[in-house]
Amino acid sequence: MATAEWLRTFVAIYRTGSVTDGAALRNLSQPAASQQLRSLERSLDTRLFERTPHGVDPTRSGRELFASVADALDRLEPVLTGLDGGMPRAAAPALRLGSSPEYVAYGVVPRLAPDGPDLAVRFGADAELLALVHHGELDVAVTTTEPTRRTLVATALGVTRFVLVSAPGRLGPVAAGDLDGLARTLAGTDWVAYSAELPRTRRFWQSSLGRPFGATLRLSAPDLRAVAAAVARGLGTSLLPDYACADGLASGALVEVCPVTDLVAPEPWFAVTREADVVRPQVADLVGRLDVPGGS
């Protein structure tokens, strides 16, 4: 029969990705942690981790067990720690944050304190990051997708708005509200975008300009910093989030072609955690520091 101590050690190993680091988190020796893990695997008659040169990776059984016990153990941990006699615990492992490279650059790094928690950052698409939070492999994900799983809690951070930008002198300015003039100016021009599918751009052309996308896609790159740099280089026009083009507009490297903020739906942002992690002081502090750069 599995004991609470074995499960606590299993969760520590799962979260750190290492038997050695999990043992340190539990104030155990590495052999003692290994023995507890072997005992747990024998009691469940299944392997919970695969050993790798860099640590351990959870098996399917390991993922399922973590999803089943982590929330309950997190709630019980303050009680168990008290029963341990308040023994000093090792330093907490790095908080695991997932988001886009741009959000981390513009929205996370500027808000970190030198004496704050260690961070381990992972980049990915929203669906992937939300799944990792659900399975306990991330502590916080910052996404533009609100989760639907009951086990996840979303904190609204605000929204970003979009700006139509080009390099100085590349396109003539268009007066606000002159959508016919804007459509004529953009027809046949070069375009730069985050993805070749152009979902937001195509909606803007169709709903606001009343015609299908009519520019030539010169470059697509899944990094908004690269897109902004390409626009400043004169490779084309783009529809960019305000935070991704704020520096370029301020420096004069980019210019606004025509005000379109009210024509493009704003993009919401959420900080997503597991229910059990909401009460963790480090997680709550990190979420409290986050917002949308340049957003509202």
What DSSP line would sit under 203-237, residue for residue? HHHHHHSSS---SEEEEE-S-HHHHHHHHHTTS-B
Neighbours of 82 (CB within 10 A): 9
30-44 helix and 4-16 helix, angle to the nearest 10 degrees: 110
Tens-digit pLDDT profile for residues 247-258: 999 999 999 999
Residue 114, burial from CB neighbour count under 10 angstroms (0-12, 13-18, 19+): exposed
> What pLDDT score was predicted for residue 67?
80
170 and 259 belong to one structural domain: yes
Report which of 187, 184, 166, 175 is spatially closest to residue 256, judged by C-alpha positions: 166
> What pLDDT score was predicted for residue 88?
47
- Does residue 255 lie within any of the structural domains? yes
186 and 245 belong to one structural domain: yes
32 and 55 belong to one structural domain: yes
254 and 272 belong to one structural domain: no
User: Cα-Cα-Cα-Cα dihedral of 102, 104, 107, 109, to 10°?
Assistant: -130
> What pLDDT score was predicted for residue 25?
80
pLDDT band at 115 (very low <50, low <70, confident <90, very high): confident
273 and 145 belong to one structural domain: yes
* pTM of model > 0.75: no
What CATH number does the domain containing 217 carry? 3.40.190.10
> What pLDDT score was predicted for residue 284?
87
191 and 230 belong to one structural domain: yes
Poorest-pLDDT segment among 58-67, 88-97, 228-237, 271-280 = 88-97
Residue 186, burial from CB neighbour count under 10 angstroms (0-12, 13-18, 19+): buried
Q: Which residues span the domain enclosing 194? A: 162-263
- 292 with 243: CB under 8 angstroms? yes
Tens-digit pLDDT profile for residues 118-152: 899 999 999 999 988 887 788 999 999 999 988 78
For residue 279, pLDDT beyond 50: yes
For residue 86, pLDDT beyond 70: no
- Does residue 234 lie within any of the structural domains? yes
Residue 36, burial from CB neighbour count under 10 angstroms (0-12, 13-18, 19+): buried
- Does residue 88 lie within any of the structural domains? no
Tell me the pLDDT of the chain averaged across its residues: 88
> What pLDDT score was predicted for residue 178?
92
